[in-house]
Structure 1
Amino acid sequence: MAEIDFMGVLHKSTQRDYLARVNDPDYPKAKAAELAKQFDHDYWDGDRRICYGGYRYMEGRWEKVARALVDHYQLPENPKILDIGCGKGFLLYDFLKVIPGAEIYGIDLSPYAIANSKEEIRDRLQVGNATQLPWPDDHFDLVISINTLHCLHAQDLHPALCEMERVGKEHKYLCVESWRNQAEKANLLYWQVTCEAFNTPEAWHWWFKQTCYSGDHSFIYFE
Structure 2
Amino acid sequence: MRRFSPEYLDRTRRGMWTESRAALDPLDLPSRSRVLDVGCGTGELTQVLADEAADADVVGVDADTDLLAVARDRTDLSYCAADAMRLPFPDDAFDLVVCQALLINLPDPAAAVAEFARVSSDLVAAVEPNNADVAVSSTAASESALEQRVRSAYIGGVGTNVALGDRVRQFFADAGLSDLRTRRYVHEKRVEPPYSESDLKGAARKASGAGLADHETELREALGPDAYDELRREWRSMGRNVVEQMQSDEYERVEVVPFDVTVGRV
TM-score by length of 2: 0.51
Corresponding residue for residue 215 of structure 2: none
Distance 2:117 2:68 in 1: 24
Corresponding residue for residue 115 of structure 2: 163
Contact 1:108 1:126 in 2 (8 A): yes
Amino acid at match of 1:88: T
Out of 99, 111, 116, the position equivalent to 2:65 is: 111
2:189 corresponds to 1:189: no
Corresponding residue for residue 172 of structure 2: 208
Q: Evaluate the alpha carbon distance shift between residue 138 and residue 94 of structure 1 in structure 2; reply closer, same or farther with a 3 A threshold.
A: same
Distance 1:162 1:38 in 2: 22
Determine helix, strand or coil for the equivalent of 1:113.
helix
**CA deviation string 1:192-214 (max 9, x = no partner):** 69671245534333333333244
Out of 37, 40, 63, the position equivalent to 1:86 is: 40
Distance 2:14 2:164 in 1: 31
Distance 1:78 1:85 in 2: 19
Contact 2:105 2:161 in 1 (8 A): yes
TM-score by length of 1: 0.59
The Cα of 1:164 is off from its aligned counterpart by: 0.8
Distance 2:153 2:168 in 1: 21
Determine helix, strand or coil for the equivalent of 2:71.
coil
Corresponding residue for residue 138 of structure 1: 92
Distance 2:27 2:162 in 1: 29
Corresponding residue for residue 9 of structure 1: none
Amino acid at match of 1:126: C
Unpaired segments ≥5 residues, structure 2: 136-147, 187-255, 259-266
Q: Evaluate the alpha carbon distance shift between residue 194 and residue 113 of structure 1 in structure 2; reply closer, same or farther with a 3 A threshold.
A: farther
Q: How many percent identity over aligned positions?
A: 23
Distance 1:147 1:82 in 2: 15
The Cα of 1:94 is off from its aligned counterpart by: 3.2
Out of 175, 180, 184, the position equivalent to 2:127 is: 175
Amino acid at match of 1:44: P
Distance 1:209 1:144 in 2: 16
Determine helix, strand or coil for the equivalent of 1:201.
coil
Corresponding residue for residue 239 of structure 2: none
Q: Evaluate the alpha carbon distance shift between residue 88 and residue 206 of structure 1 in structure 2; reply closer, same or farther with a 3 A threshold.
A: same
Determine helix, strand or coil for the equivalent of 2:104.
helix
Which structure carries more helix by proportion?
2
**CA deviation string 1:5-27 (max 9, x = no partner):** xxxxxxxxxxxxxxxxxxxxxxx
Determine helix, strand or coil for the equivalent of 2:98.
strand
Contact 2:33 2:55 in 1 (8 A): yes
Write the mapping of 1:38-57 to structure 2, written as runs, cut at 5 A.
Answer: 38-39=3-4, 43-45=5-7, 51-52=8-9
Alignment size in residue pairs: 173
Q: Evaluate the alpha carbon distance shift between residue 157 and residue 63 of structure 1 in structure 2; reply closer, same or farther with a 3 A threshold.
A: same
Distance 1:44 1:194 in 2: 19
